[in-house]
Amino acid sequence: MNGPISLSGISGNVRVHTENGPISVALKGTTWSGTGLTADAQNGPVTLLVPSGYQSSFMVESRNYAPMSCQASICDSARKTWDDEHRRIEYGSMPAMIRLSTVNGPISVRESSRDKETL
C-alpha cells in the first residue's frame, strides 16, 4: 500500500503499513481507548500530533540516520535514544500503546489541540 495515510481521533486496535508515503496521526483527548496503534512506513515521513496533557504511552522510531524532532510539551519528559542506526523517542510506560516507525523518513512529534483536527 502507498500513502499518504492520515488518522485522527481514532481508537481501538489499529494497524497501518505503507511502503511509500507519509503517515500522519492526530491524537485527541488524554488517553488511547483500546488495545493500541501500530503504524509503520518503509519510505516516508511519520508525524504524530499530541495534545497537551496526553497520558497514554507512545514510541516513535526511525532508522538510517533519519531526522527526528519532538516539539510537543510532553517531549520534555520523553526519553530520547540516538545511536548509529536507530533514533527513538519514548513517552510513558513501556510497552507503548502507540507505536510509529519509519525505515527511511523523518519523524516529527508536535503539539495539537485536544479537540481539533490539525492534520
Task: Give the predicted TM-score (pTM) of the model.
Answer: 0.90
Position 111 scores a pLDDT of 95
Percent of the chain clearing pLDDT 90 (strictly above): 77
Compute CA distances 76 → 89, 91, 104, 117, whole Å. 11, 10, 25, 23
Alpha carbon distance 47, 68 (integer Å): 10
Is residue 119 over pLDDT 70?
no
Instruction: Return the C-alpha cell found at 111.
Output: 503539539
The model's pLDDT over 82-106, given as tens digits with 9 standing for 90+, comes to 887 889 999 999 999 999 999 989 9
86-91 and 79-82 as β-strands: parallel, antiparallel, unpaired?
Answer: antiparallel
Residue ranges of the domains in the chain?
5-112
pLDDT tens-place string over residues 12-57: 999 999 999 899 999 999 999 999 999 999 999 999 999 999 999 9
State the pLDDT at residue 114.
Answer: 52
